Structure 1
Amino acid sequence: MTDPVFDCAPYRARLLALAAELPQIPRADLYAFLDRAGELSEHLPEQLGSVLDQFKASSGDHGYLLLSGLPLDEDRLPATPTSTPAPNDRQLLSMEAMLAVIGRRLGLHTGYAELRAGSIYHDVYPSPNPNYLSSETSETLLDFHTEMAYHLLQPDYVMLACSRADHERRAETLIGSVRRALPLLDASTRARLFDRGMPCSVDLAFRGGLRDPGAIARVKPLYGDESDPFLGYDRELLAPEAPRDKEAVRALGRALDAAAVGIGLTPGDILILDNFRTAHARTPFSPRWDGKDRWLHRVYLRTDRYGQLSGTERAGDAVPFVPRR
């Protein structure tokens, strides 16, 4: 892919028509809802379908795809949530419909059993006094990380849909692509990082109730094809021990910073991240607690690209935690 941005505004009418064919209370039977979304994904506008197919084949140097101009709920959007998970009887929102149909063109929506009770749709909103590693932070930087790099069944794609932006439009999602960062590393650093498992802690949800179980996973910062590697990076959780490993990981972090692109998500945007090729972060913003704070919707997708599926899975399944070793 050469251009990571695609304007969906010309196709709004067609996308709204597809959304109208979905069950309108998705959580009443999420399997049926996502099965129907899979059927409808074959009827996306041809140009949009082609862009998604190209992105799945190769996410290019940028490692992300930004879809803009998608249909919104306009006046019927409820207040930004203050708790999770969403009520089972909540009516389908436009951005949830888009995540369903567009996401099924790419893969299978997956829940993680220990994370938000295995729910498929995550409301992402500011919360008072969250843990600094949580997506519910707002006034501190959520630092660079590959989503669940420590999980053997980490998602292939992370999809973020925006129903509301923050009031001042300060928040940016930062994306660091390994394909853009790699040329900034010298050969000896690349060699040190490649296929070398390093200790890694895990997010709160995966700690089994323990405050700090230590570095219970091992993550390879670079792995796969040496000339076009996958990325496994988490600035907060990756804990290399040897001095040379620490310096190599710091160099990788600097390269990701230098290569980073910032995207301010606006209502009607969906950002799709290739989670094997990127790390992402989010800059601070100031919530007002007025019912109209920033509100994103997040889903995770798995595909058969990297052996993440055995062939019996369904969209809507939740998988248990298995740490990388």
Structure 2
Amino acid sequence: MIRYVDIAPADRPALDILTRSVLRDYGSSTDAALLNELPMLAHRLPAWLVRELLEFRTRETASALVVRGLAVDDNRLGPTPLGWNEPSRHPEAGVHEVFLVLASAHLGELFGWSTLQDGRLVHDVLPIPSHENDQSGHGTVELAWHTEDGFHPYRCDYLMLLGLRNHDSVPTVVAGIEDVRLTPRQREVLSGPRFLIRPDTEHLKQARALAERTGDGLAMLRMQESPEPCAVLFGHPEQPYLRIDPAFMSPLPDDREAAEVLDFLMRELQRNLVEVPLGAGDLLIVDNYRAVHGRSAFKARFDGTDRWLKKAIVTRDLRKSRTDRRAPEERVLR
């Protein structure tokens, strides 16, 4: 189930003042001082929005939440960059990043990967020339639905996508495990360590480069070479959590039953996909334990008007990844 809530027009001026003042005071949406004070600053969001985020987190009432109506001025935003490492031509995008970061504080802790966008905590999701066929946020072919970073034990609890520009209404697609009907035997099969999930190509490209320079990518390369068998379903048997990435996973060799049940689950998730075309100012939060997400194919123009989202990932427990972080306060997994 996807829950939709709307920012009232009366709340927009105060939100605009808040995000601009935070950006002015700290200089960046991911400044270290801002992140340290984030729990206090985040309570300056409207009380109704804080309640919605906390309800989504604690009661698991929906597999995805869409907050619509943040004011985004397309003219002030500047053109869609041609790459994630291309500086935005206007600081307006940073204002909206602040909203994303403030909202994240009511879900958990922001974090990132050294193998993605140089370890940045807020990513740009946009088409990049020559990457059209990639299975990533930079491609234009259909992005197969998946659990975000499903291969990794420290994958996020929540994926956040904030629309800045989407003139073509390209939909993100979402499906929740609660909409899938399984037999007891199917649940049993999917709950056993009978499946392998490997890192996706976007992680691996940078992991190889990092391994050569610093050794940081070695753990991820080992996951590619020797993935540990894992379950697809886990948690409560009647309300299970989900871990799946069809493009990068397989059942254990010669496990025909696991292959058949996995295929059934994939067909059911495909059948239950819901399109969510994120407009400018729409925030989609996906419960990464309860839903999969992907994206429909589209045609990029590379003229400054293409689809542009901001992305962040959130964990409810940053401490569990301490072995992969250089310091307790470090938010980048290596």
Match of 1:134 in 2: 136
In 2: Cα distance, 1:189 partner to 1:46 partner: 42
Give the structure with the larger helix fraction. Answer: 2
Runs of 5+ consecutive residues of structure 2 not aligned to the other structure:
209-220
Alpha carbons of structure 1 residues 99 and 78: separation in structure 2 relative to 1, 3 Å = same
Match of 1:276 in 2: 289
What SS is found at the alignment partner of 2:23?
coil
1:219 aligns with 2:230: yes
Residue deviations 1:195-246 (CA, integer Å, cap 9, x gap): 3241122112443327x94463433210111111110011101111311111
Deviation at 1:7, TM superposition (A): 0.2
What SS is found at the alignment partner of 1:191?
helix
Does the 8 A contact of 1:303 with 1:309 survive in 2?
no
In 2: Cα distance, 1:74 partner to 1:116 partner: 24
Matched ranges for 1:164-313 at <5 A: 164-165=165-166, 167-169=167-169, 171-181=170-180, 184-207=181-204, 208-209=207-208, 213-214=224-225, 216-240=227-251, 241=253, 242-304=255-317, 313=328
What SS is found at the alignment partner of 1:239?
strand
Give the letter aligned to residue 228 of structure 1. Q
Deviation at 1:50, TM superposition (A): 0.8
What SS is found at the alignment partner of 1:5?
strand
In 1: Cα distance, 2:231 partner to 2:176 partner: 16
In 1: Cα distance, 2:233 partner to 2:315 partner: 20
Alpha carbons of structure 1 residues 141 and 168: separation in structure 2 relative to 1, 3 Å = same
Match of 1:16 in 2: 16
Matched ranges for 1:310-321 at <5 A: 313-314=328-329, 317-320=331-334
In 1: Cα distance, 2:113 partner to 2:158 partner: 14
Does the 8 A contact of 1:85 with 1:119 survive in 2?
no
Deviation at 1:174, TM superposition (A): 1.0
Match of 2:112 in 1: 111
Deviation at 1:129, TM superposition (A): 2.9
Give the letter aligned to residue 148 of structure 1. D
Does the 8 A contact of 1:9 with 1:68 survive in 2?
no
Matched ranges for 1:19-168 at <5 A: 19-24=19-24, 26-27=27-28, 30-60=31-61, 62-87=62-87, 91=91, 93=93, 94-130=95-131, 131-138=133-140, 140-165=141-166, 167-168=167-168
Does the 8 A contact of 2:29 with 2:101 survive in 1?
no
What SS is found at the alignment partner of 1:219?
coil
What SS is found at the alignment partner of 1:301?
strand
What SS is found at the alignment partner of 1:299?
strand
TM score, norm. by length of structure 2: 0.85
- The percentage of counterpart residues that share the same residue type is 27
In 1: Cα distance, 2:320 partner to 2:240 partner: 16
Give the letter aligned to residue 301 of structure 2. R
In 2: Cα distance, 1:112 partner to 1:267 partner: 26
TM score, norm. by length of structure 1: 0.87
Does the 8 A contact of 2:115 with 2:203 survive in 1?
yes
